[in-house]
Structure 1
């Protein structure tokens, strides 16, 4: 993924983009990055802008759950849920989570703009989804998660089915957002798993294999962006590399792309060195989240050069979604992606 001029080839938009609506996201991204992108998300605008935050109300509607006070020292200090005493766990059900509804509505806009030539013909519609574990582990007490997770996962995968039914597979790309799992593996977030690594990999493999092979599949590994801070500053890319390798070894279908974060202050060889051990299929696109507006083109190019000493070919991205940023900063940030990258190979 390196262009003829030596620049990283291509860019990835992780998910959220804080513009007014999907139309503005598609138009802005296509105008600035149309020849850099292989897929465009709808920006997760409106109630979805704070990633899984909108799922809190979904959990609040489950009658078997009750609210407990928040931990003020938590990364997300919000009240959590636990099972009520005597709750019938076999009756736990989730109705509409909202993900399929959002995808259907945004895809209608996407197809109109693609037909008009605003979105290039080669670009797919990207649906970025939190893993089933994400909302459960973020908002439910560890001792109650095992009772809630199966029902939530079943409903989320049912919404994946609805998305697959509504959107042509050759025009669709699905990304699993993997943040809570990284927090558990870093021992920053509490977990009820006896063997967290084994439990997490099994889940990530299962939901990856759930996506049909004629739909593109991506994984976004993340250290969080709440309040523009990580839940832990990563020492290096060792944990990310290990997790990516385990996912790649487990899934029975191709992984189309993998996204890994790069903190703004890391342009040192030590951070990137573990990436030499990445064991991805040659066809898997690697995107590194090393684009930061805090130090612009110069700082981003320093991180690119450091990354190249470990992995020669990759595209560029930000560390996380953009939903928590001021909308007026987005065009310049997208232009920064364009300035440090080359066009994708499919664009003549």
Structure 2
């Protein structure tokens, strides 16, 4: 990734986009950002709008898994946010999870992507981006106590099965997989995530366990398919579960995962809070391990191109080359702001 000025090269759409359907998402992204995008997501439309919040409804229908509480906890458009537990007397290893929904959505959206590319609306060489959560995210968010250790391998196998379905259905030269990594940062930072401490459930150093888990997910994506990692500090109600002191934890975790992975990352995304255009936040980037593409999530709807330029200037002192992105997906951005956010990406970056 090269750059000859303070203007970043390239843009990344982190995942969710606040449109109702995948076709509008991909058509608008391609039309607005054109040659700045090396990959395009489907916007995580439908039940994926609130990231992993539809997974309890999927898992809660499984034999051996129960919802906690008798009353629904409404969330978003018809979702039930009640947590989950393994039923008494159930051998977790014998639980057979249903399809999680990620493969079916990706396969359906890829056909739209392919059609738009054939019609010339998406440029040749652009890949179809599929964003997937980590097992740590789902297990830590919806299970508690000893159930976490018991259900983690079951859910991880099911998620990797979804990945295998995607790999079988989408040509590898068209595909890019992004692992969305948020809960891991909360565990490392010992944050209070949405009302309760974010803690590891395995023996040993939590950091080492998180590195091993994410490196295994990176390596599950075969060479020939692009793989990226989106690090995040949460986005519930457009708020982080903790405000990072600087980019140090992000760099430490990214470096460890890069070193532990057998295959190289295609891209890495790091968030930048809106109020951080100071050198102190970006200084740790000087120690970031080399990665083919680095994207900094410094685009914010509240201050547009002007604010992004301030953050770009500060980041450029420590990262010689990077592209731009938002901190997290923009699927839950205020209504009517999506076009402006996409236009800001275009205003502060150049094409490839």
Taking structure 2 as the reference length, what is the TM-score of the superposition? Answer: 0.92
Q: Which moved more, 1:167-176 or 1:137-146?
A: 137-146
Aligned residue in 2 for 1:126: 129
Secondary structure, in 3 states, of the residue corresponding to 2:28? helix
1:310 partnered with 2:318: yes
Task: Report the Cα distance in structure 2 between the residues aligned to 1:142 and 1:312, rounded to whole angstroms.
Answer: 44
Post-superposition shift, 1:250? Answer: 0.8
Task: Report the Cα distance in structure 2 between the residues aligned to 1:337 and 1:58, rounded to whole angstroms.
Answer: 35
Residue number among 326, 345, 349 corresponding to 1:341 in the alignment: 349
Post-superposition shift, 1:133? Answer: 1.9
Aligned residue in 1 for 2:222: 212
Aligned residue in 1 for 2:235: 225
Task: Report the Cα distance in structure 2 between the residues aligned to 1:131 and 1:326, rounded to whole angstroms.
Answer: 26
1:15 partnered with 2:15: yes
Task: Report the Cα distance in structure 1 between the residues aligned to 2:295 and 2:62, rounded to whole angstroms.
Answer: 38
Residue number among 98, 105, 108 corresponding to 1:105 in the alignment: 108
Aligned residue in 2 for 1:182: 185
Deviations 1:6-41 (A, max 9, x none): 410000000000102010001100000011100000
Secondary structure, in 3 states, of the residue corresponding to 2:165? helix
Q: Which moved more, 1:292-301 or 1:32-41?
A: 292-301
Task: Report the Cα distance in structure 2 between the residues aligned to 1:113 and 1:4, rounded to whole angstroms.
Answer: 32
Secondary structure, in 3 states, of the residue corresponding to 2:132? strand
Post-superposition shift, 1:80? Answer: 2.2
Secondary structure, in 3 states, of the residue corresponding to 1:34? helix
1:273 partnered with 2:283: yes
1:192 partnered with 2:201: yes
Post-superposition shift, 1:222? Answer: 0.3
Residue number among 258, 262, 268 corresponding to 2:268 in the alignment: 258
Post-superposition shift, 1:88? Answer: 2.1
Aligned residue pairs: how many? 337
Aligned residue in 2 for 1:164: 167
Task: Report the Cα distance in structure 2 between the residues aligned to 1:66 and 1:106, rounded to whole angstroms.
Answer: 31
Taking structure 1 as the reference length, what is the TM-score of the superposition? Answer: 0.93
Task: Report the Cα distance in structure 2 between the residues aligned to 1:165 and 1:88, rounded to whole angstroms.
Answer: 31
Aligned residue in 1 for 2:27: 27
Aligned residue in 2 for 1:299: 307
Aligned residue in 2 for 1:235: 245
| Unaligned segments of structure 2, at least 5 residues | 74-79, 192-197
Task: Report the Cα distance in structure 1 between the residues aligned to 2:81 and 2:335, rounded to whole angstroms.
Answer: 26
Post-superposition shift, 1:89? Answer: 2.0
Deviations 1:98-136 (A, max 9, x none): 111001100000000000000011210000110122111
Alpha carbons 1:276, 1:310 under 8 Å: kept: yes
Q: CA RMSD in A?
A: 1.7
Task: Report the Cα distance in structure 1 between the residues aligned to 2:251 and 2:93, rounded to whole angstroms.
Answer: 38
Post-superposition shift, 1:84? Answer: 2.8
Aligned residue in 2 for 1:329: 337
Deviations 1:143-166 (A, max 9, x none): 211111111111111111110111
Q: Which moved more, 1:208-217 or 1:325-334?
A: 325-334
Deviations 1:261-294 (A, max 9, x none): 000000011111111111124xx10000000121
Alpha carbons 1:3, 1:342 under 8 Å: kept: no
Task: Report the Cα distance in structure 1 between the residues aligned to 2:107 and 2:251, rounded to whole angstroms.
Answer: 34
Task: Report the Cα distance in structure 2 between the residues aligned to 1:11 and 1:167, rounded to whole angstroms.
Answer: 23
Residue number among 101, 117, 137 corresponding to 2:140 in the alignment: 137
Task: Report the Cα distance in structure 1 between the residues aligned to 2:65 and 2:114, rounded to whole angstroms.
Answer: 40
Structural mapping, 1:31-110, within 5 Å: 31-68=31-68, 78-110=81-113
Alpha carbons 1:208, 1:251 under 8 Å: kept: yes
Task: Report the Cα distance in structure 2 between the residues aligned to 1:90 and 1:219, rounded to whole angstroms.
Answer: 29
Post-superposition shift, 1:328? Answer: 1.9
Post-superposition shift, 1:327? Answer: 4.1
